[in-house]
Amino acid sequence: MHMKRFLFLVMLTIRISVFAQNNASITISNNSNQIISKHIYGQFAEHLGRGIYDGFWVDEDMPVAKQDRIRLDIVKALKQINIPNLRWPGGCFADEYHWRDGIGPREQRPKMVNTNWGGVTEDNSFGTHEFLKLCELLGCEPYIAANVGSGTVEEMSKWIEYLNSNSTSTVAQMRKQNGHPEPYKVSFWGVGNESWGCGGNMTPEFYADQFRRYASFAKNYPGAPLKKIASGANAQDYNWTEVCMKNIPLNMMWGLSLHYYTIPTGNWSKKGSATKFSEQEYFSTMANCLKMEELVTKHSAIMDKYDPEKRVALVVDEWGVWTDPEPGTNPGFLYQQNSLRDALIAASTLNIFNNHCDRVKMAELAQTINVLQALILTDKDKMLLTPTYYIFDMYKVHQDAKYLNIKVTSPDYVVGGKRIPAVNASASQDSTGKIHISLVNLDMHNPVTIRIVLNGLKWSKINGQILTSANITDVNTFDQPSKIHSADFNSAKKDGDKLTVVIPAKSIITLELN
């Protein structure tokens, strides 16, 4: 009798344990006054590999729809996801770029060697006017990174004047002669890029002084107040943030940047394949991705010390997964495929940014086309949308929506004795009252039942979208461009004032509650 009772208790314990493992709970509250800035959903286009040339900017004889040499099927795809801003011309390239080389008649523009990326010839056919025409077609704001590393204060000052002044100065007249009578009114300006590394190998103290000097001569022109963004820390370099916040007057900078890349192996010299990886490597990739939460939290805490009113934005203007380049491609071009794993990275990272929208006001995925964690890949006249693209399409509902406080209790995803939370999420309410909840399940094998309580929020109808695939390594190819794409999800259930969702393994869901 005692043995039977013992076995019963063992089986009951196992059942409860299995039940607990596969259950998550989420509480969402309508007690925030924060807005999730649309600029968190920004993109990055550097003169690197096939990002600009053979990406946005194609040969005149390529058989695709174009305006000038801007590829319009790409423009259409990016407009679909409401791209809010585009950062240019770099990246490391920004600190060797001299803007005067990229204006005026194209046949007269000087050529240079792109020493950072592949040693290829840069013909400067895509310059300031071409970039701003692209932004106009996209309906997005330009974010220009100025040259502090090899440039001068005067060079940056004159570039701003060239773009934003409506005066009769020689520089403003030059813009008019080059075909744009009205000022462009560019607001977002990066004062250098990675000044701790490729942008000059500076100390934080030296850079803070340089920022103050450059920013002093970056003038506001009528209708174009500048939002100056200081070159911030690399990953966990908290001292860089401390020195910048301490030494730069808060009224001189709109934002301070942060760069962090997810390296699958954690080893920069052998990062890991974009398409061939084990479950152990998938797990380490996702654990490295989730470190963004710690980085944003700790950098924000330092900023809070000097800026308790949160006037200065944390701008994560380079993020994403960085793998080894695809075999057979120029290693300096940083071309990598984009799998379901990349989609889970994008969704988890955007959830982190949404949940820190009190400080994170802007971010840019690296990069838009054919480089690193791209939204779009091209092969001559062919084009495909990556799994990451579909995440930005599913998450665009959060742009400029009211942030809803969210608390997630998640089971662990365990591999090799190490554990990370299986579920992460974010939520918002748009101007029409619709509630959007984005859910991620990182567990490769197990679905998770999520019970959601919504406090102080009324709704009656549910629909949603899901992104998943049979294998974590699945990709879209030019032969199978739609292998992974978002699809309707109708399995969420209303249970009184609660919501129950069974989220499949390795999947992302965005729900809409009316």
Say if residues 363 and 315 touch (Cβ distance below 8 Å): yes
Give all strands (DSSP E) within 311-458, no chain letters: 313-321, 360-366, 376-379, 382-385, 401-403, 405-409, 412-415, 418-421, 423-429, 435-441, 448-455
- Amino acid (one-letter) located at 445: H
Catalytic pick from 46, 130, 141, 318?
A: 318
- The single residue listed with the structure tokens 């679909």 is 80
Longest dimension (CA), the chain: 99
In terms of C-beta density within 10 A (0-12 exposed, 13-18 middle, 19 or more buried), how is residue 69 classed? middle
Distances (CA, A) of 173 to 108, 168, 182, 477: 19, 6, 10, 47
Contact indicator for 439, 423 with CB cutoff of 8 Å: yes
Three-state SS at 301:
helix
Give φ, ψ of 427 to 5 degrees. -150, 150
In this structure, what are the phi and psi dihedrals at residue 257, rounded to the nearest 5 degrees? -85, 165
CA 264 and chain centroid, separation: 17
Q: Which residue type is seen at 325?
A: P
DSSP 377-398: EEETTEEEE-HHHHHHHHHGGG
Spatial contact of 84 and 395, defined as CB atoms under 8 Å apart: no
> Please, which contacts does 297-303 make with residues 24 or more away whose CB atoms are closer than 8 Å?
297/356, 298/236, 298/238, 299/232, 299/233, 299/238, 299/241, 299/258, 300/356, 300/359, 300/360, 302/238, 302/241, 302/242, 302/245, 303/241, 303/245, 303/256, 303/359
Q: Is 96 a catalytic residue?
A: no
The C-alpha angle 479, 482, 484, rounded to 5 degrees, equals: 120
Cβ atoms 261, 321 nearer than 8 A: yes
Instruction: Look up residue 493 and give its two tokens.
Output: 């259930």
> Among the options 96, 122, 161, 194, which is catalytic?
194
Q: Cβ contacts of residue 313 below 8 Å, gap of 6+?
A: 229, 254, 255, 256, 359, 360, 361, 362
The answer to whether residue 318 is catalytic is yes
The residues annotated as belonging to the active site are 194, 318
